[in-house]
Amino acid sequence: MIVRHPDAPEWGEGQVQSRIGDRITVNFTEAGKRVLDGRHVALEILRFDGA
């Protein structure tokens, strides 16, 4: 799944690597790997990557 962080558009698009509970690991093109708290950010889904 390809996403964008609504409060950090400069991070570029990100590919979701995993989700465990509320912890979402995303690899962003301009910011690298970030672990986000899903309780505090609503990622914008751009597309599903065919998985």
pLDDT at residue number 50 = 64
pLDDT at residue number 39 = 97
Dist. CA 26–CA 31, nearest whole Å: 10
Backbone angles phi, psi at 11, to 5 degrees: -70, -15
Whether the per-residue pLDDT at 51 is higher than 70: the answer is no
pTM of the full structure: 0.90
Per-residue confidence band for 49, with pLDDT thresholds at 50, 70 and 90: confident
